Structure 1
Amino acid sequence: MTRPSSSFNRICKLLDYIHAHLDQPLSLDDLAQQSCWSRWQLQRVFQSETGLTVANYVRELKLSEAAEALIHGSARVIDIALANGFSSEISFSRAFRQHFGLSPRDYRKLGRHTGLRKPLQLAQRTPPVSQTPQLMQVRVESAESETFYGLATPIRGLLAAAPDFAEQVPSVWAQFTPLMAHQTPQPLTGVIDVTAAADNDHALIYWATSTLPVSGAERVTVPAQTYAVVKHRGPIALLPQTLAWFIFDWLPQSIYRGVDGFELERYPAGYDGTAVHAEMDYWLPIEIA
């Protein structure tokens, strides 16, 4: 998928922050706060741009700094652990052994560099051709809590390593639509639960829903939230391109950051996802960065 360079620039800034703050814990929450993305989004974008997971990258840099200190200095192991953002000697020693295959003290006795990781030095890419931001319509909306009724399925979304939403989403809508057969056409909403994605191997729950109670459907309540809303024009099959621009380009250039909340796909009554001029809105939870 072609991506604008804004996400690359943001990741470069985040790398600079990581490299300058290796003496701090640098939790995923901390790093997400430094970026424009939610925890889940950051993990996927970071891996997309670097080929590494953010947690492993930070941990390996910290351990490599510690290994240098063990070889070239005489500081106590506990002091080296604390200086590199570990909360205790026990947690440091466990992580050190997992990475180097030796305890800190044995590594010091070995006295030679092995398994060290150095900070990434990324070369700037030539920005690829992308959707023009001026042609996209984005607005910010605050929405009250809302209850929906529908059917759910697990999916792996746009930012997953192996996306399957293109198959799973049409399938759940095909199951839900017959439940609405005896009702007047209503606006429909795809509800994407991203609240646990960062801790659940990036799995999402997708709901095909209506705001009207439907026999055989389950209930899901979305809390009050502020959203950035992008209008997608054209066949629904092209929605991933709009979302890629939204997340990789618009969000990094805005004053907002993503939040792991409930994302919404809002479809008007009678929506035809194959139509060239079809329009729907995608709502992405945000907060001021």
Structure 2
Amino acid sequence: MNNNALRENIVNDIIIWIDENVDKPLDIEIISERAGYSKWHFQRIFKHVVGVNLGEYILNIRLLKVSSDLKKTNDKIIDIAFRYGFDSQQELNRAFKRILKVTPGKYRKETVLRYDA
């Protein structure tokens, strides 16, 4: 197996692990240690293989899970925020709005309206 294939396998394994542990604290140092690289080197490898940096990938996965919970549950937004590693509802609101261009509350309201129609 060549170096690139090995790196891709390691990154794919880490992606699976991140997806399975997105509701736990995900620290770049822990992730890179799990991959067997320094945090700086692993972040370069991850970006090369995936196309986005590790922190952005984790944020996107968390927001995907948040958006799913907003659609499927009636849980309070603050509870969903804490579930996926956000320190506050405000932190979730900022990230959600930056990426999805809408607040979690408005997203939930619009999603419910679409499904009710």
TM-score, normalising length: structure 2: 0.87
1:5 lines up with 2:5 in the alignment:
yes
Secondary structure of the structure 1 residue equivalent to 2:11: helix
Q: How does 1:69-88 map to 2 (within 5 A)?
A: 69-88=69-88
The one-letter amino acid paired with 2:63 is L
Partner of residue 55, structure 2: 55
1:60 Cα shift? 0.5
Contact 1:25-1:86 within 8 A present in 2 as well: no
Q: Deviations over 1:37-69 (max 9, x none)?
A: 111101110011111211111101100110111
Q: Aligned AA for 2:6? A: S
Q: Match of 1:101?
A: 101
Whole-angstrom CA distance in 2 between matches of 1:98 and 1:24: 22
**Larger radius of gyration between Structure 1 and Structure 2:** 1
* Distance in 2 separating the partners of 1:9 and 1:101: 33
**Partners of 1:36 and 1:26 in 2: how far apart?**
16
Deviation at 1:12, TM superposition (A): 1.4
Structure 2 gap segments, 5+ residues each? 113-117
Establish whether residue 33 from structure 1 lines up as the match of residue 33 from structure 2.
yes
Gaps of 5+ in 1: 113-289
Matches within 5 A, 1:17-166: 17-111=17-111
Per-residue deviation, 1:35:
1.2
- TM-superposition CA deviations, 1:182-235 (whole Å, max 9, x none): xxxxxxxxxxxxxxxxxxxxxxxxxxxxxxxxxxxxxxxxxxxxxxxxxxxxxx
Give, as a single letter, the amino acid of the residue that structure 1 aligns with 2:62. Answer: K
In the TM superposition, structure 1's runs of 4+ consecutive aligned residues that sit over 4 Å from their partners are none
User: Could you tell me the TM-score, scaled by structure 1's length?
Assistant: 0.37
**Equivalent residue pairs, number:** 111
The structure in which a higher percent of residues are strand is: 1
Q: Following superposition of structure 1 onto structure 2, how do residues 183-202 of structure 1 map, counting pairs within 5 Å? A: none
